[in-house]
Amino acid sequence: MKRLTVRDLRPDGHSLLPDILGEAKVRHGGIYVFKPGETAHPEARHVHDVDEVFLFVQGSGIIPIDGVDHPIQAGDVVIVAAGEDHHTRSSVEDPLVAAWYVVDRAVLAE
């Protein structure tokens, strides 16, 4: 996991995180509006074979990664590395809104 804030981003006009993700390409993504107290991916283990980037645009909560809880709030940017188990849990009082996308380093040749 890598944690930043929006202030740490250094877009290059081509990519939002060029120093961290290099030329990796976005595979898919979206925006998710959490219900109060909701946990994304309630299954026991949730992993990807690619990196996933979260931009938290509203609210607060916890993102457990490999069993360690990390507090999150609006303005945080979290990069979950391929293979890391992760679940996002929204606070009840201040529900999260997250923009997310997964990137694939393998599509560079396309």
Q: What percent of the chain has pLDDT over 70?
A: 95
Which domain CATH number covers 91?
2.60.120.10
Residue 53: is its pLDDT beyond 80?
Answer: yes
Find out whether 85 and 5 touch, Cβ atoms under 8 Å: no
pLDDT band at 85 (very low <50, low <70, confident <90, very high): very high
Mean pLDDT, the chain, integer: 90
Q: How many domains does the chain have?
A: 1
pLDDT band at 106 (very low <50, low <70, confident <90, very high): low
Enumerate the H helices of the chain as residue ranges: 18-21
Residue 32: is its pLDDT beyond 90?
Answer: yes
Residue 96: is its pLDDT beyond 70?
Answer: yes
Residue 54, domain extent? 2-109
Residue 107: is its pLDDT beyond 70?
Answer: no
Query: Residue 2 burial (CB < 10 Å; 0-12/13-18/19+)?
Result: middle
**C-alpha to C-alpha distance for 3 and 72, rounded to whole angstroms:** 9
- Bridge partner list, 69: 64
**C-alpha to C-alpha distance for 109 and 9, rounded to whole angstroms:** 25
